Amino acid sequence: ILGNGGAAKAVKYVLDKHGIPSVTVSRSTEINYDNIDAAFVQDHKLIIQCTPVGTFPNVEDCLNFPFEGLSKDHLIIDLIYNPNYTKFIINASEKGAKTVNGYYMLEQQAEKAWEIWNFQKK
């Protein structure tokens, strides 16, 4: 999990709930962007980018990440949906990783909000 904010905490909760081990990488954790390397990335096949880095209008921004550790065996999920293809997604795709942006999560949040606001039980 890249990031340590609210979205990252929600992702960690779901991974924990399903028994999927995770490691959090952020500026303020023991494992941070300055000390992860290609070998670390090779050992973690699911990477979920939960920071706002690369969100519109700062679409040229990208995390300091060792993309050279990625391969076709990786799944990269970037929770950003605007733009559709962040620099993070583009760089990961160039290394052969499977990539998904945050649009599906946005849809799911919208559907849940619709249910909450329109079908409340009394």
Domain boundaries, given as residue ranges, for the chain: 6-118
The pLDDT value given to residue 1: 98
Q: 6-118: what fold?
A: Rossmann fold (3.40.50)
Provide the mean pLDDT of the chain: 95
Q: pLDDT per residue over 9-62, tens digit each? A: 999 999 999 999 999 999 988 999 999 999 999 999 999 999 999 999 999 999
> What was the pLDDT predicted at 121?
55
| Alpha-helix runs per DSSP H in the chain | 6-17, 38-42, 87-94, 103-118
Give the tokens for residue 36. 């992860």
